[in-house]
Amino acid sequence: MKKIIILYLFLCLNFTLSAQNKDTWISFWDKDTTHLGFKDKSGNIKIEPRFMGFTIAHKFENIIAVSEEENETWKSYYLTKTGKIVGRDSLYVFDNGPDCENEGFIRFSDPKTDKMGLFNGDGKIVIPAEYSHLTNVRNGMIIALKDAAKEKDGEHFFWTGGKEFLIDINNKILIENFGYNDELNFYSLEKSKEKNPDPVRDNFLGVDGQYYSFINFDKEFKAWLKNILLTDLSKENLLKHSYDQITYWKKKDDDGWITKPKASFITQNYKAIKAKLLELKSANCDYHIFSESLNKFIFEADEYDQYFDNCRQAKDWINPVKNIVISPKDKNESGQDHFEFLRTKNGYKLISASSRKEDLK
């Protein structure tokens, strides 16, 4: 039997950061709700409210992006827990928001070269600004794009050319020609001398001559759907694979999104859910599966905090939502049915549903 080597990057990283992250500070508003400050868990004020604009972090573990007004001008920078200021006017901004710390690291952008680099939680540059683009850190690894050209398409831009690598937090190349793929679970990494035969894994040959394999979320979900859920559509199995609370859309009287305990939701809608899921087993069923992020505007309760980062952005790189969208067989009919499954530490769970024909109860 071939020997499988588990990469311990994430475990070691978490152990290193645990001492730093014992006390997470929480953001709070001033009386006018115009400036943000931070308190510790005991309610002691650590930073008086003075931040605005790009300050979107709800929690302060090691390093955050902030902005404040000074002498009628704006200044932005990265701030560490010790009060160290780094990366002045070098915030990496995407989709109108700055980067958020992940695993104790945060990305920055050099305004002169438009290249990206990485700070650690102490504000030290661990990856210099020499890349066209970097993903956030995932299990101590980053997908890096180098020497690409930025082209604009209206209000948006995209990259052309360049080379992609998988690197670690020490800027060491692990895999060359590593194309971006947001379906890979980097926390599932296994290394071996030969390709991993697991059908839900993707294999890549590393520069060290070993194969790096990752679970592919799309393959994983489709295998789970076929072999676990659709083989047993009993009420008990649906309950087993449902989130504690299920959110559903109710059109009647403009009720909108409603949340209900899974037991009552499954019991009241069992026949409709079973009938619709049975369609997926039909060869002529018109459906698609999309990867999405958990909607922070719908799933606002504290129980969902674990699925969002410190800036309340969905952690879809580890907890994606798989949305099954079923279209009607009659193309003249409108509307679609939706079943959303969240990837949790206990597997995929039904978290949301909507029906095109009738209101769910």
Per-domain residue ranges of the chain: 4-180, 230-354
pLDDT of residue 3: 39
Cβ neighbours around 334 below 10 Å, total: 9
Let me know: does 310 contact 81? Beta carbons within 8 Å.
no
For residue 80, the one-letter residue type is T
Let me know: does 248 contact 265? Beta carbons within 8 Å.
yes
Give the C-alpha separation, 332 to 328, whole Å. Answer: 8
Q: Which helix (H) or strand (E) holds 164?
A: strand 163-168
**Could you tell me which of 298, 279, 311, 316 has the C-alpha nearest to residue 106?**
311
- Topology (CATH) of 230-354: Nuclear Transport Factor 2; Chain: A, (3.10.450)
pLDDT of residue 53: 87
Let me know: does 291 contact 185? Beta carbons within 8 Å.
no
pLDDT of residue 351: 98
Q: Tally DSSP H helices, then E strands, for the chain.
A: 4, 28
pLDDT of residue 204: 98
Per-residue model confidence as pLDDT tens for the chain (361 residues): 333 444 434 434 443 443 344 689 999 999 999 999 999 999 999 999 999 988 999 999 999 999 998 887 889 999 999 999 999 999 999 887 899 999 999 999 999 999 999 999 999 999 999 999 999 999 999 999 999 988 877 767 778 899 999 999 999 999 999 989 999 999 999 999 999 999 999 999 999 999 999 999 999 999 999 999 999 999 999 999 999 999 998 776 556 789 999 999 999 999 999 999 999 999 899 999 999 999 999 999 999 999 999 999 999 999 999 999 999 887 777 789 999 999 999 999 999 999 887 677 7
Give the C-alpha separation, 214 to 10, whole Å. Answer: 14
Let me know: does 354 contact 248? Beta carbons within 8 Å.
yes
Question: Coil, strand, or helix at residue 238?
Answer: helix
pLDDT of residue 342: 98
pLDDT of residue 12: 41
pLDDT of residue 255: 66
Alpha carbons within 13 A on the beta-carbon side of 52? 13
Question: Coil, strand, or helix at residue 266?
Answer: helix
